[in-house]
Amino acid sequence: MRRFADHPAAAMNSDDTHDRTIAESDHGEEIATLSLVLSAVDISHSVISRDHRFLLCVAADDQQRALYHIERFREENEGWPPEAVVTEEVASSLRFPALLVIGALMLFYFVTGPWNRHSLWFIEGAGDSTLILGQGEYFRLITALTLHADLTHLLGNCLFGAILLHFFFRTIGPGMGIFALVLAAGLGNYLNVILHGEGHRFVGFSTAVFAAIGMQVMVGYHASRKQSKLQIAAPFMAGAALLAMTGSGGVRTDLGAHLLGMLSGFVLGGLLISPLFLKLRHSSFLQTLLFICAWVAVTFSWHSALQTVH
């Protein structure tokens, strides 16, 4: 739209007092909007059509006041409606990585079953701070992520984990995303072990879910500074919903692992938004390599766990 500060209107309409054109456009809806603005401040005006263009006209005495209100309207509505945020695609040949992770967790649960202190899986793979700190069985920091106490525990992590991981992997890439997830979750479990000291046992993917929350907040905020407060708060809302579903206290809820997982996610997310990693995420080769490394890390951890069986 172009604005004309002092352009007499020709062939106006029946109201000859409106002899100043203050705006014109090919789009009638734009002039109609400005007409509403003038109507709201009680400025008499006319809207006419000429040669497939629309003109907004006022009397000479009202010209400056009309221009002032139109300018104020434009300033207050600059950038509205907001442009749609387009998520930048990352180079990868991998499809639906979030479903792959969640599906693997569910399949593994049907192999291991729920918590059982006599089960080989839980004896050798559950997180145990005494064995981690005392005997160096650090593989438990990873194997514990794949075990769940019961079906409710599993479904809670899978439901909210699937949503969070989907958006996180779309932003950072599936290979780099899964590798960062395993790393941040392992770090979160290790910090929790140090916090509790010996005698603490734990299982569950929730540390990884909260690590994903931390990383998504950091990466998502950097990806678009135009995000609304609701979009930025969405990962926290998912975490709160997971806490509400599983409980925030009691012997079966490891709140420390949740909070330290999120803290680890913040730290690693800060690295992921560095210029180097933002550039590397577009490498299809690197995405595939990190994807393989993440699954090798989990497989090797379980191999190490079961090697202890005599």
Q: What is the pLDDT of residues 105-151, one digit of tens each?
A: 999 999 999 998 899 999 999 999 999 999 999 999 999 999 999 99
In whole angstroms, give the CA distance from residue 24 to residue 35.
11
Domain with CATH 3.30.70.1530 in the chain: 2-76
Instruction: Give pLDDT, residue 138.
Output: 96
- 2-76: CATH class: alpha beta
Q: Tell me which of 300 and 41 has the higher pLDDT.
A: 300
Instruction: Give pLDDT, residue 243.
Output: 58
Percent of the chain topping pLDDT 70: 77
Instruction: Give pLDDT, residue 20.
Output: 86
Ranges of beta strands (E only) in 20-109 are 20-25, 45-50, 53-58
Percent of the chain topping pLDDT 90: 36
pLDDT surpassing 50 at residue 14:
no
Domain 97-307: which topology?
Rhomboid-like fold (1.20.1540)
Ranking 6-20, 113-127, 179-193, 294-308 by mean pLDDT, the lowest is: 6-20
Provide the mean pLDDT of the chain. Answer: 81
Using alpha carbons, select from 234, 128, 145, 247 the residue that is nearest to residue 188.
145
Using left for φ > 0, alpha for ψ between -120 and 50, and beta otherwise, residue 57 falls in beta
Instruction: Give pLDDT, residue 6.
Output: 41
268: Cβ contacts below 8 Å, ≥ 6 apart: 180, 183, 184, 187, 211, 214, 215
Instruction: Give pLDDT, residue 140.
Output: 96
Instruction: Give pLDDT, residue 244.
Output: 58
Instruction: Name the strand (E) or helix (H) holding 218.
Output: helix 206-223
Give pLDDT tens digits for 146-177. 999 999 889 888 888 888 888 889 888 899 99
299: Cβ contacts below 8 Å, ≥ 6 apart: none
pLDDT surpassing 50 at residue 250:
no
Domain with CATH 1.20.1540.10 in the chain: 97-307
pTM: 0.65
Give pLDDT tens digits for 24-79. 888 888 888 898 899 988 899 888 888 788 888 999 889 999 999 999 888 887 76
